[in-house]
Amino acid sequence: MAEHPTHSDHAGHASAVPGAGVDEIAEANKAHFDATAKSEISPKWIEMAQRCGAAIRANYAFDEDTTVLMDFACNIGLTSRELAPYTKTVVGVDISQGAVDAFNEAAENQGLAPDEMRAVCAELKGADGELDGLKFDVITCALSYHHFADIAGITRTLAFFLKPGGALLVVDIVKPASHGDAPLFDEKYSHVVPHTHGMTKDGVQAAFEGAGLNEFAFKPITPISMHGMDAVMFIAKGVKPSA
């Protein structure tokens, strides 16, 4: 979950920042979350992680003895902590070293061994040998897709790391039909949020299906207030073919 201590309400999939490339946005996010990783965790973000975790658990059959989970764009690990009791292993992945350090410090303070819960700093490409060749039963990404300039590319990368039959679950925010062209985010955050209007089912489905994921499902799950406007979170799920 991309917890945002300093820009607390973000989502997106509609309009990319003019002139900003994928690499530039990734670097801006890395710098931003390195700077905010040690910020005080607000009760709001703990609550949001709880809501994300509950939605994910309701849409995937976790087994605490066997499930190996990647929490992508994990930040400091609030959503990972919600899911860890239901898994055998949680591996958080983030491009921010500051966030990864905070994640691992919190896991160690909870008495969790690295084979139970750990995070790594990596910018995944979907190549053999990454993450020591580890594949996952389930990959989650909570309230972070709006930070990715190329969600189709990110989804293909994540699908690479799924085991056959494994599932990708993404939680983010639906583009409100009633808001027209009004963005959900303040312009001052455009350097780290390339999509400002919220995500559409069609856009997310295209990314999932383009990554070869089947059994697509897209469900609204809970309302959220965004800069004084009402929006709704969703959970999207896709499954990697078994053969």
Ordered domains of the chain (ranges, CATH): 22-239 (3.40.50.150)
Mean pLDDT value of segment 78-92: 97
Region 46-62: what's the mean pLDDT? 95
pLDDT band at 23 (very low <50, low <70, confident <90, very high): low
Task: Return the higher-pLDDT residue of 30 and 185.
Answer: 185
Q: Quick one: tokens of 13? A: 């999939």
pLDDT of residue 79: 96
Tens digit of pLDDT for each residue in 115-163?
A: 999 999 999 999 999 999 999 999 999 988 887 888 999 999 999 999 9
Q: For residues 107 and 234, what is the distance between their CA atoms, to the nearest angstrom?
A: 28
- Is the C-alpha dihedral spanning 185, 94, 117, 237 positive or negative? positive
Which of 129, 71, 75, 128 has its CA nearest to residue 98?
A: 75
In angstroms, the CA 17 to CA 53 distance is: 30
**What pLDDT sits at residue 65?**
98
Answer whether residue 10 shows pLDDT above 90.
Answer: no
26 pLDDT higher than 60: no
Least confident of 37-41, 177-181, 220-224: 37-41
Q: 13-27, 74-88, 98-112 — which is least confidently predicted?
A: 13-27
Alpha-carbon separation of residue 62 from 7, 58, 222, 243 (angstroms): 31, 9, 21, 22
Per residue in 170-182, pLDDT tens?
A: 999 888 776 566 6
pLDDT for 25: 44
Beta strands in 6-134 (DSSP E): 68-72, 89-94, 117-121
The whole-number pLDDT of residue 100 equals: 95
Mean pLDDT on 167-194: 70
* Residue 243 confidence (pLDDT): 74
